[in-house]
Amino acid sequence: MLAGGSERSPVRLVVGLGNPGARHARNRHNIGFMAADAIARRHGFGAFRSRFKGDIAEGMVAGERRLLLKPQTFMNASGESVLAAMSFYRIQPAEIVVIHDELDLRPGKVRVKRGGGNAGHNGLRSIDAMIGPDYWRLRLGIGHPGVRELVHPYVLQNLPAEEIELWAVPLLDAVAETIPLLLDGAPDAFMSEVARRFAPPDNGADDRQ
């Protein structure tokens, strides 16, 4: 069940999480940046420009003006960029969706919820500390390495070329195509449409939650 799924308040700010710099561009931890870029391409956003300790772009989705933000503070301080942007534009937490990698979902799986904990994700922890937890989270599964000690190197590894082709690109395309539903306050319809467009590969692993 989606937390807050019955509420239909439009999203004005989409935040993709990642670490800045070319060396991190293809890391699993940067799938939020990848999603923001895919949305910008699909919906014809203007160029990203440097503001609010991040890169921000403006565009129209489903007839409404939306903002895309990629914090450039490194993951652990993402909240500084989010707070700066939402304060300037007078955006409420419930009008924000944060796109991030999720270890506890198998690669290509998608979940949406509003509020909740950070499950140890440093980007979410920083945002929670700055603006509270009452924002939407779009969780993109990257899988889990199996043991806790391997998590840090795993998320900072590049996605292998075969995984990019098998699930990352198709997933990001499906999210970019379908994002108008989520931004218009219809998370259940968004989830259903993503599932219709893309089925994650079955690697035999169960989701951890």
**Contact partners, residue 110, CB within 8 Å, separation at least 6:** 138, 139, 140, 141, 171, 175, 191, 194, 195
- The span from the CA of 38 to the CA of 173, in Å, is 7
- Active-site annotation holder among 29, 100, 121, 144: 29
Q: How many CB atoms lie within 10 A of CB 16?
A: 29
Q: Which helix (H) or strand (E) holds 54?
A: strand 54-61
Burial call 167-200: b when 16+ CB within 10 Å, e when fewer: bbebbbebbbbbbbbbbbbbbeebbebbeeebeb
Assigned token pair, 26: 């293809």
* 29 is annotated as an active-site residue: yes
> Which residues are catalytic, by number?
29
